[in-house]
Amino acid sequence: MQTTKTTQTAFVPSYKAVKSLLSKGSTNAKTAKNELETHILYLAPANKIGSHNICPFASPGCIQGCLDEAGRGIFSNVQEARKNKTKYWAFNREGFYIQLAEELIKLNDKAFNENRTIAIRLNGTSDLDHLSLLKRYSGIDFLDGFYSHLKFYDYTKSIKKFKDYLGTNYHLTFSLSEINKDQAIEALKIGGNIAVVFRNSLPAKFMGFDVINGDLTDYRPSDPQNVVVGLVAKGKAKKDISGFVID
């Protein structure tokens, strides 16, 4: 009896070459308010590409209310570009970070030559430790004083990452969700700031801490220390019933 040999074709991830990983902050309604020139990395959040979750600490409410599809993000070409970058990150980690390092080096050279600071937000729609991964794959520590003309900042729901970078040139604001109140309190107790999404308006105080208007600018390093950064719910978050948005 003749047997038929079956073969399995290995899955080959597909992505296109990316001309630029960083986008100019002027293309985003919020980062456009920053006084500093800002560059931001947008990926496809959570598990949108199906194979990798790039927001490992996101709560259900955060995922549901994500601003990934706000503004220009509503357009299908923008969504596909973010998914493509995320596949690049997922399946060619070394190539991704070498390219990102090259882009950051060029921006640092520009800032140095013009004697100014350029703001960098690497987690526009993700929550990864890009600086650690940059050091691993490119060999460059962008927190070294040589790169002090770049100012890194982000929001995060990782209390470990928040504590690891506290007091460095990477300014992190801890994001409150419906499931991480204890960690948010911990962040405040050690002198950090937390971001909180409110339903319609901002209170003067929250959990005993002063609330500042986080919608006036996206540049968080200029915030006073030990405050609540209040953000008014936008887009899908307006309909949140998970507890992520505070009434």
Q: Distance of CA 208 to CAs 44, 59, 194, Å?
A: 35, 24, 13
- Distance CA(13)–CA(117), nearest Å, equals 37
What is the C-alpha to C-alpha distance for residues 208 and 210, in angstroms, rounded to an integer? 7
Instruction: List the helix and strand counts (H, then E) for the chain.
Output: 6, 9
Q: What is the pLDDT of residues 171-187, one digit of tens each?
A: 999 999 999 999 999 99
Low-confidence ranges of the chain (pLDDT < 50): 1-12
Burial state string for 76-91 with b = 16 or more CB within 10 A and e = fewer than 16: eebbebbbbbbbbbbb
The C-alpha torsion from 214 through 27 and 141 to 129, rounded to 10°, is: 60
Output the pLDDT for position 121: 97
Number of Cβ atoms within 10 Å of the Cβ of 133: 17
SS3 assignment for 30-82: CHHHCCCCEEEECCCCCCCCCCCCCCCCCCHHHHHCCHHHCHHHHCHHHHHHH
218 and 151 Cβ atoms separated by less than 8 Å: no
Q: What is the DSSP letter of 28?
A: S
Look up tokens 């994001």; give the residue. Answer: 175
Report pLDDT for 15: 87
How does DSSP classify residue 8?
Answer: -
Q: What are phi and psi of 25, to 5 degrees?
A: -65, -20
Q: Give the per-residue pLDDT at 11.
A: 46
What integer pLDDT is reported at residue 74 of this predicted model? 55
Question: Tell me, what's the pLDDT at 66?
Answer: 66
The reported pLDDT for the residue numbered 78 is 79
Give the tens place of pLDDT for each residue, 102-111.
999 999 999 9
